[in-house]
Amino acid sequence: MYLLWDSWCGVCFQKLANIDLQHTICTFLLYIYIFYITIMTSTIDDSDKEKALSVSVDLNNDTSLLIDIPDALCERDKVKFTVHTKTTLSSFQKPDFSVPRQHEDFIWLHDALVETEDYAGLIIPPAPPKPDFESPREKMHKLGEGEATMTKEEYTKMKQELEAEYLAVFKKTVQVHEVFLQRLSSHPVLSKDRNFQIFLEYDQDLSVRRKNAKETFGSFFKNMVKSADEVIISGIKEVDDFFEQEKTFLLDYSSKIKDSTARAEKMTRSHKNIADDYIHISSTLSSVSVDDNTALKKHFEKLSDLFEKLRKVEGRVASDQELKLTELLRYYMRDIQAAKDLLYRRARTLADYENSNKALGKARLKSKDVAAAEEQQQQCLQRFNKLSESGKRELTSFKGRRVVAFRKNLIEMAELEIKHAKNNMSLLQDCIELFKSS
């Protein structure tokens, strides 16, 4: 796994080498290689068939629809993804095809799925977050301003570091988009969705227009209504213990995981700062060694060298923590939101059913439109039951999926931490020995 990461980085760096990122940061081309060690694309234990339905796309188990994003192009704010599909399903015209897609297309697909009534009982995979290159770009800008205060070497290193960071952000962006599609493709119901299939197959630009102001306001308003509605329907007595439990759990969990995510982000950021400090220390040490003419010169050189190596490891520790821990938490934060949405939809139908019950009662009282009310009530009940059923299934699978993902990531993180610490240790030991012997 680690090697893969290494080689991936290596390739990207090679590709990058010819491009001056400082000026053409927005327009650089990257080939994103398929990379299966990501959080969501974890391979799943063969024993757990059910969990295969989870976030992780098990390529071994289900080869009928394989989706990846082998290629992405970053152009200013827009990222163009090449979505590659390999399928054995007859619903597709060809077994192997690629289409260009933008972030907005993904959002459209997500919204379309959410708005489909039939999928109300499903956890709709959370939409990938908007690509955010602001932070590395801003840092790059700052770096350019502070160029005068740094040595050339230092500047180059800082730039490299930022390039790496930029790359990581870019890679992560591609990854979350890929994961979104993979989750859809692995879902028994959602994978058959028409819109999804169009998304995958239509070889022209989907040219989904961006939401205009009115629509943005509309969705905002809708959210407001939803929140208000949530409050109202929360008063409704839950008929099913499972959902009652699930609701309290999810509400609690979602606030906790939000907090954890924020803190993990902070932690990884400060870890990154330490790696950056090492760069400065290393370069200052090397300039000290240039000036020094005593026996210490050698030592300073060594120390500078050591810090340079340490910062690479430390930087890796930070980025691995980011990838294995923060990203995991971040994803589940969104996924839990999706689960909560499911609960809301179910609660909504429950409320509808209650209302229809009341309406039926009234109709019976008045002996008017009883049949229609009865039918309405039946429909609501049916709908509610259906939702409850699929919801229960979805939530259970969500649970399993979460546990598996956490397990995998925590193991990987622990292993990486150990690996890096061992690297650090041997570097330090070598250096100490050198110092002691001289």
Partner 1 sequence: MKMATSSERSPPPFPEDLEPEPDEVGDQDSDDGEDIFLGTDNPLEIKMDPSLSVSDITSSTKPLSEASSPPVMDLLSEPASEASSAPMVDLLMEPASEGSSAPMVDILSEPASEASSAPMVDLLMEPASEGSSAPMVDLLMEPASEASSAPMMNLLMEPASEASSAPMMNLLMEPASDDLKEPPKPDIDPLADIINDTPLSEGKTPVAAMPQEPPSDLFDDEPSELFAEPRQSNTAKQQQTSIFDEPDEDLFSEPLGEASKKPQNDFFKEALAPVAKASNVCGPLSDNYNEHPTDIFTEEAITTLPSAVSTVSVNSKTNGVHSDEEEPDIFAEATVELSLDSPRNDRKKKEAAKPSASASAPAPSVSASASKPQPKTLEEVQYITLEEEVEDKFELNISITNPEKVGDGMNAYMAYKVSTQTTLPMFRSKTFTVRRRFSDFLGLYEKLSDKHTLNGYIVPPPPEKSIMGMTKVKVGKEDNSSAEFVERRRAALERYLQRVVFHPSLLQDPDVREFLERDDMPRAHNTQALSGAGFLKMINRATDSLSKMTIKMNESDVWFEEKLQEVEAEDQQLRKLHIMVDSLVGHRKELSVNTGGFAKSVAMLGSSEDNTALSRALSQLAEVEDKMEQLHQEQAASDSFCFAELLADYIRLLGSVRASFDQRMKTWQRWQDAQNMLQKKRETEAKLLWANKPDKLQQAKDDITEWEAKVTQYERDFDRVSATVRKEVLRFEKEKARDFKKQIIKYLESLLQSQQQLIKYWEAFLPEAKAIA
Residue with tokens 């995991």: 328
CB of 105 to partner 1, least distance (A): 34
Q: Enumerate binding residues for partner 1 (CB under 8 A).
A: 249, 252-253, 256-257, 259-260, 263-264, 266-267, 269-271, 273-274, 277-278, 280-281, 284-285, 287-288, 291-296, 299, 303, 306, 310, 399, 402-403, 406-407, 410-411, 414-415, 417-418, 421-422, 424-425, 428-429, 431-432, 435-436
Residue with tokens 């606030």: 255
Identity of the residue, 60 or 273, whose beta carbon is nearer to partner 1 in the bound complex: 273
CA dihedral 265, 307, 161, 17 (to 10 degrees): -150
Identity of the residue, 19 or 274, whose beta carbon is nearer to partner 1 in the bound complex: 274
d(CA 49, CA 65): 17
Identity of the residue, 43 or 98, whose beta carbon is nearer to partner 1 in the bound complex: 43
Give yes or no for a contact between 366 and 10, defined as CB atoms under 8 angstroms apart: no
Identity of the residue, 185 or 397, whose beta carbon is nearer to partner 1 in the bound complex: 397
CB of 365 to partner 1, least distance (A): 43
CB of 167 to partner 1, least distance (A): 23
Residues 6+ apart with CB under 8 A from 271: 314, 317, 318, 321
CA atoms within 13 A on the CB side of 193: 26
Give yes or no for a contact between 4 and 37, defined as CB atoms under 8 angstroms apart: yes
d(CA 209, CA 194): 19
CB of 359 to partner 1, least distance (A): 37
Report which of 126, 124, 125, 73 is spatially closest to residue 102, judged by C-alpha positions.
Answer: 73
CB of 277 to partner 1, least distance (A): 4
* Phi, psi of 75, deg, nearest 5: -130, 110
Identity of the residue, 226 or 298, whose beta carbon is nearer to partner 1 in the bound complex: 298
CB of 315 to partner 1, least distance (A): 13
Identity of the residue, 92 or 406, whose beta carbon is nearer to partner 1 in the bound complex: 406
